[in-house]
């Protein structure tokens, strides 16, 4: 096999396919060049991208082409560069004996797209999970806490304390112990006995008659007579 011819022919074909993107880095003793690959969405400001650098060996394509990965963009915490390199080497081994750079570039492009699709899916799932969590939290806010007998009794006790109800009940209980005069009279039989004793002892009460005027000295008019009728004289006339 004319290895030099195979290599030059592939370089010319690749340059026509990736015109403007492919860069020839070296030509002697063998060709070395780079081709960029990127995932969908990268041109819109999001996605994955890198440069694949290929170096021919003297006996390529019977020997494996050397592959390097440079200028990775957005790989951090998303994809592993070494994982991509391993994938490309495995693809190259399956194509030994044939020019393989176009196949490797296509495999790398597809790998980036698959990884980026997974990244987008994970992000969407995270967004949906957050939305679901927010909705559940909102529902719980409206539903409130499920009430049990124990939680209700505890709530009522604290509510009564906050409202001062125990103190109010204590004051009302004290007020109930304060009886009115009538209530005291009805409850204390000694008060009844004292009134009865006063009536029984009434005959023994002495009255000072000197405090009253003699009835004969009083000037009683007809109006003082219980039988007095206005308009009639003191004596009857026919």
8-state DSSP, 111: H
pLDDT digits (tens, 9 = 90+) for 11-30: 999 999 999 999 999 999 99
Over the Cα atoms of the chain, what is R_g?
Answer: 59
Q: How confident is the model at residue 237 (pLDDT cuts 50, 70, 90)?
A: very low
b/e per residue, 154-183, with b = 16+ CB within 10 A?
eeeeeeeeeeeeeeeeeeeeeeeeeeeeee
pLDDT digits (tens, 9 = 90+) for 27-68: 999 999 999 999 988 888 788 999 999 999 999 999 999 999
Which helix (H) or strand (E) segment holds residue 23: the answer is strand 23-26
Separation between Cα atoms, residue 74 and residue 78, nearest integer Å? 7
Q: What's the whole-number average pLDDT of the chain?
A: 80
Selected residue with higher pLDDT from 217 and 162: 162
Whether residue 180 is predicted with pLDDT greater than 70 in this model: the reply is no
User: Looking up tokens 């403007």, which residue turns up?
Assistant: 20
- The separation between CA 112 and the C-alpha centre of its own chain, rounded to angstroms, equals 38
Structural domains of the chain, with CATH: 3-120 (3.10.110.10), 151-199 (no CATH)
Residues 6+ apart with CB under 8 A from 87: 107, 108, 111
Whether residue 225 is predicted with pLDDT greater than 60 in this model: the reply is no
User: Looking up tokens 């019977």, which residue turns up?
Assistant: 62
């Amino acid at each position: 096999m004319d290895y030099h011819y195979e290599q030059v022919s592939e370089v010319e074909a690749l340059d026509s396919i990736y015109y403007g993107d492919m860069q020839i880095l070296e030509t002697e003793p063998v060709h070395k060049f780079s081709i960029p690959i990127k995932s969908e969405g990268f041109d819109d400001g999001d996605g994955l991208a890198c440069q694949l650098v290929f170096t021919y060996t003297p006996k390529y394509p019977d020997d494996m082409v050397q592959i390097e990965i440079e200028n990775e963009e957005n790989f951090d915490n998303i994809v592993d560069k070494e994982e991509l390199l391993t994938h490309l080497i495995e693809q190259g081994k399956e194509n030994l004996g044939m020019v393989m750079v176009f196949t490797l570039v296509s495999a790398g492009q597809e790998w980036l797209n698959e990884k980026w699709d997974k990244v987008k899916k994970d992000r969407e799932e995270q967004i949906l999970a957050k939305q679901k969590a927010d909705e559940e939290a909102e529902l719980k806010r409206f539903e409130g806490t499920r009430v049990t007998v124990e939680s209700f009794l505890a709530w009522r006790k604290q509510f009564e304390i906050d409202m001062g109800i125990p103190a109010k009940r204590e004051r009302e209980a004290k007020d109930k112990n304060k009886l009115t005069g009538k209530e005291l009279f009805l409850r204390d039989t000694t008060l009844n006995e004292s009134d009865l004793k006063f009536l029984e002892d009434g005959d023994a009460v002495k009255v000072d008659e000197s405090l009253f005027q003699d009835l004969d000295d009083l000037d009683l008019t007809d109006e003082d007579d219980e039988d007095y009728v206005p308009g009639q004289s003191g004596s009857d006339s026919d």
